[in-house]
């Protein structure tokens, strides 16, 4: 969830602009907590008739998240080096590294995230939040559809990994894990939105709104570029892992995995702003609806276990 769309400020601005940040964040926290706990503690693979088609849609949806992350990598490299050819080469290189990491499975992905996520949180606090004015303006407005879309986007596309993490875990463990991760994300959303509001940044047409809050010279901007890059990588690797699960490691399977990676790269040629503005909300709404269908199925039409003979 701590990806480039989030850490750039672009995603937060897209989904929460014009709303009351405290009310919206509180609503999103509830949606994320309930959704994560439901996914972590439910064994869909055995208990749901709809598991296979829905998880397949989730896997394929992550191609667009991969595209967004690759587009952000391209934006970062282009800003840093001012060379389109070099930024394209860096983007392709990152995609190749991501493919190699996937062969180590969920264990490799977990190890990468254990290192990168704490670095992201610490840098974000000291480079963005502390130096900038935090402003809370209560408008009393809340956008339920935007909140549902944001929660649906994160829950639906994170479902494959959440299901793996929730296997053989006690419900109390899943409860506290969902509570903690949702609370951390909710607080960060509020701080990012309040930072943008307090500084009067017109972020509407900016790919990386939070960059406008940082002194363009010195250590701060370098640290922010690093943490943004880390955020891109965590999301890219996680989304790529989900896409990887569609196919096996036979020759044909690997060939199709390469073709999916090429597809993600081609979609990434759209700007990061356009991907977040148009594709993310659509996936979020579809994902939210499918998760609601899963909840409804589990509540009223649970799959009966096979009788042993």
Which own/partner pairs from 23-28 qualify as long-range (CB within 8 Å, at least 24 positions apart)?
A: 23/140, 23/141, 23/142, 24/142, 24/143, 24/146, 24/147, 25/186, 25/187, 25/189, 25/190, 25/193, 26/186, 27/142, 27/144, 27/147, 28/147, 28/150, 28/151, 28/186, 28/189
| Lookup: tokens for 280 | 């993310």
Encode the chain (309 residues) as per-residue pLDDT tens digits: 556 667 778 888 888 877 887 888 899 999 999 989 988 887 776 777 787 788 778 877 888 888 988 988 888 888 778 888 999 999 999 888 888 877 665 555 566 666 666 777 777 777 777 776 677 667 677 888 888 888 888 888 778 778 777 777 888 888 998 899 899 888 888 888 887 776 655 555 677 777 777 765 567 777 777 777 777 777 887 788 777 777 777 788 888 888 888 999 999 888 777 888 888 888 888 888 888 888 888 777 766 655 544
Q: HSE-up of 25 (CA within 13 Å, CB side)?
A: 20
CA distance readout (Å), 115 to 5, 168, 189, 227, 253: 20, 24, 22, 12, 30
Question: CA 113, 212, 150 angle in degrees (round to 5)?
Answer: 50
Task: Say how far apart CA 289 and CA 72 lie, in whole Å.
Answer: 28
Task: Say how far apart CA 245 and CA 243 lie, in whole Å.
Answer: 5
Structural domains of the chain, with CATH: 4-298 (1.20.1740.10)
Task: Say how far apart CA 96 and CA 213 lie, in whole Å.
Answer: 32
Q: What is the pLDDT of residue 82?
A: 85
Q: What is the pLDDT of residue 4?
A: 63
Q: What is the pLDDT of residue 147?
A: 87
Q: What is the pLDDT of residue 303?
A: 66
| Whether the model pTM is above 0.85 | no
Task: Say how far apart CA 93 and CA 126 lie, in whole Å.
Answer: 30
């Amino acid at each position: 969830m701590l990806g480039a769309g989030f850490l750039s400020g672009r995603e937060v601005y897209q989904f929460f602009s014009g709303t009351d940040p405290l009310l919206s964040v509180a609503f999103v926290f509830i949606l994320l907590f309930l959704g994560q706990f439901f996914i972590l503690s439910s064994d869909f693979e055995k208990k749901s008739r709809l598991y296979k088609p829905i998880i397949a849609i989730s896997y394929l949806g992550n191609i667009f998240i991969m595209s967004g992350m690759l587009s952000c990598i391209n934006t970062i490299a282009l800003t840093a080096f001012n060379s389109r050819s070099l930024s394209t080469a860096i983007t392709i290189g990152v995609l190749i590294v991501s493919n190699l990491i996937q062969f180590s499975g969920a264990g490799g992905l977990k190890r990468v995230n254990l290192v990168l996520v704490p670095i992201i949180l610490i840098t974000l606090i000291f480079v963005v939040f502390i130096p900038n004015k935090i402003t809370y303006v209560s408008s009393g407005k809340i956008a339920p559809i935007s909140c549902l879309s944001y929660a649906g986007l994160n829950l639906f596309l994170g479902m494959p990994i959440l299901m793996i993490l929730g296997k053989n875990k006690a419900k109390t463990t899943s409860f506290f894990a969902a509570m903690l991760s949702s609370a951390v994300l909710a607080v960060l959303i509020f701080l990012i939105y309040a930072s943008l509001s307090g500084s009067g940044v017109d972020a509407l047409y900016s790919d990386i709104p939070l960059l406008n809050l940082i002194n363009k010279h010195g250590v701060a901007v370098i640290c922010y570029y690093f943490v943004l890059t880390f955020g891109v990588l965590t999301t890219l690797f996680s989304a790529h892992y989900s896409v990887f699960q569609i196919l096996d490691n036979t020759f044909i399977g690997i060939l199709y995995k390469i073709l999916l990676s090429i597809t993600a790269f081609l979609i990434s040629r759209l700007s990061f702003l356009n991907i977040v503005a148009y594709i993310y909300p659509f996936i979020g709404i579809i994902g939210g609806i499918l998760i609601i269908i899963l909840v409804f199925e589990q509540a009223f039409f649970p799959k009966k276990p096979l009788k042993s003979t």
